[in-house]
Amino acid sequence: MRLKPNDTVNSRFLLKILPAFFLVSLFFLVTLSYFELNNAKKSHNQLVQEKTDNLARLLTEPVWQLSTKLSVNILKTTLDASDIICIKLEQDSDITPLIMEGECNDLSSEEVLEFNSPIIYLDLRNTSRSLGIVYLYTKNATQWSSITKQLITLTALSLTLFITLIIITSVAFRSTIITPLSRVSKSLKYYRQTGQRVPVNWDSTDELGQLISNYNRNLARQTEIEADLKEAHLKTENALSSLKEAQTNLIHSEKMASLGSLVAGIAHEINTPLGNSLTVATTVSDITRNISKDIESGALTKSALDSFIESITEASTILERNLETAAKQIRNFKNVAVDQTSEKRRKFDLKQVIDEIIYTLNPLIKHTPFDIEVSVPPDISLDSYPGPLGQIITNCFNNTLLHGFEGKSSGLIRIEANLINEKYLSLIISDNGNGMSPAECEKAFDPFFTTKLGYGGSGLGLNLVYNLTTTILGGTVDINSKINMGVTLNFKLPISAPGAHRTQGYV
């Protein structure tokens, strides 16, 4: 920011100091003028008085001789040669008149000053006799003219003093205060513009010098701190990217783990129809070999042929049914597995997808004392991500089996979905198992929170549930639980997931 000339420290300082200087100079001028005036008055009065005394002495002889003519001449000469306006000669003798010379009309005015001196005659015996009084009148104003010149000189001197003081003060103020301050200001401005810290070059040991050396020390300290911060920031960034990588890997392995449990279950399930089919195929092969032998030896009877056809028909039916079951299981598994590994958005029927997921999870619960109950109304159509939805249900399901039903001889998992309005649906996944303490419940969604540390738990299952729900599905989830009262997860999911990205459905 550029300062206005009026806002600079220098001008503000001068504005404050100027009136003081001015008043001091004025005070000196007035005081000196006063004394000068008094002195001038005194010396003027003294001069006029001396002149009066001299005149009195000069007039002694003519007055004694009663020479009025000479007296008048002396008075006239005195009047011509000076600034006297009127001269009066008052004689003690009755025969000689009062002599007045000059402008003696208005002598009572305040502007007229009167001086007088007695005319004393000393006779041969040295006795003094008063012959009269001589009066001299001058104008008061005439004194001003005599001191005006001095006053002008004095004013000029005061003015010079005033200006010199201002210049000296301004220069001193600049060199001791403004210059170091402006260097600090330049250093700060340079830092603002370029981000570089340049120390200020100033050598004095006064307060400002100390301030500037503190400033320089702080600059150096800030540079060090900044370098440390940069290093720490770099380390943090590296650590963060490693953490993110580790998190991605963990999430991936978490997904793969739940997929692995699906694979194990489905493999077990498919084993049954495939085993049945194999047995039937072996039986078919046996009876076919037997009938071939009968044909070769010509011992084939009609009843044997009928029984063979009947067995083959029955075997085909069994094979068909078992292979159909296996195919269905593989189809469902394929849907769920592809959904869970691809995270693709598509339009799907909620009930159908949940049924497929439950179907693939069923083998995990089939031979346990636990039950699963699903209540999803038909025809809820979603435009969302079935993979993450399946992942959420699988994780909750696994948690119930692992934690909720640990040590239990019976238990029920419930999955319930309902439309809230045309934009949202509610999905509730609950169990009636061991439940959690309030402290566990509070941390349940935190990454790496697990009560099974060292027993296969990584503490990412519910965190993944939370992240998938709130990010990719665009919904919310909260958890309610009490010890021995089971766990309930309440989801609120949008019918249409957020995000512009949309891919076509797949087979």
Ligand X SMILES: Nc1ncnc2c1ncn2[C@@H]1O[C@H](COP(=O)(O)OP(=O)(O)OP(=O)(O)O)[C@@H](O)[C@H]1O
Where does this chain bind ligand X (CB under 6 A)?
254, 399-400, 403-404, 431, 433-436, 440, 444, 449-452, 457-463, 487
Tokens of 21: 């200087």
Cβ partners under 8 Å of residue 349, min gap 6: 378, 379, 380, 381, 382
Which one of the spans 88-96, 240-248, 393-401, 465-473 is the region binding Mg ion (CB under 5 A)? 393-401
In the complex, least distance from residue 403 CB atom to ligand X, rounded to whole angstroms: 4
- Given ligand X, Mg ion, none, residue 390, with its beta carbon under 5 to 8 Å by kind, binds none
What is the torsion angle, in degrees rounded to the nearest 10, for the CA atoms of residue 492, residue 498, residue 504 and residue 507? -30
Among 117, 332, 399, 430, binds Mg ion (CB under 5 A): 399
Of 54 and 437, which CB lies nearer to ligand X in the complex structure? 437
Buried b / exposed e along 285-315 (16+ C-beta atoms within 10 A): eebeeebeeeeeeeeeeeeeeeebeebeeeb
- Given Mg ion, ligand X, none, residue 265, with its beta carbon under 5 to 8 Å by kind, binds none
Shortest-Cβ-distance residue relative to ligand X: 461
* Positive/negative CA dihedral, 167, 168, 171, 174: negative
- Given Mg ion, ligand X, none, residue 273, with its beta carbon under 5 to 8 Å by kind, binds none
Helix axes 350-366, 207-297, angle to 10 degrees: 70
Which one of the spans 218-226, 300-308, 396-404, 436-444 is the region binding Mg ion (CB under 5 A)? 396-404
Of 284 and 401, which CB lies nearer to ligand X in the complex structure? 401
In the complex, least distance from residue 453 CB atom to ligand X, rounded to whole angstroms: 8
Which one of the spans 58-66, 199-207, 391-399, 405-413 is the region binding Mg ion (CB under 5 A)? 391-399
Of 461 and 475, which CB lies nearer to Mg ion in the complex structure? 461
Of 390 and 461, which CB lies nearer to Mg ion in the complex structure? 461
Strands 411-419 and 370-375: parallel
Say if residues 349 and 381 touch (Cβ distance below 8 Å). yes
Q: Mark 426-465 with x for binding to Mg ion (rule: CB under 5 A) and - for no binding.
A: -----------------------------------x----
Say if residues 495 and 449 touch (Cβ distance below 8 Å). no
In the complex, least distance from residue 387 CB atom to ligand X, rounded to whole angstroms: 18
As a whole number of angstroms, the distance between CA 103 and CA 112 comes to 11
Say if residues 443 and 481 touch (Cβ distance below 8 Å). no
Which one of the spans 64-72, 265-273, 395-403, 476-484 is the region binding Mg ion (CB under 5 A)? 395-403
Of 269 and 431, which CB lies nearer to ligand X in the complex structure? 431
Task: For residue 300, give the H/E element and its range.
Answer: none
* Positive/negative CA dihedral, 184, 188, 194, 198: positive
In the complex, least distance from residue 380 CB atom to ligand X, rounded to whole angstroms: 25
In the complex, least distance from residue 428 CB atom to ligand X, rounded to whole angstroms: 13
Tell me the number of residues near Mg ion by CB under 5 A.
Answer: 2
- Given Mg ion, ligand X, none, residue 84, with its beta carbon under 5 to 8 Å by kind, binds none
Burial class (CB in 10 A: 0-12, 13-18, 19+), 183: middle
Tokens of 55: 């005149």
Instruction: Point out which residues bind Mg ion (CB under 5 A).
Output: 399, 461
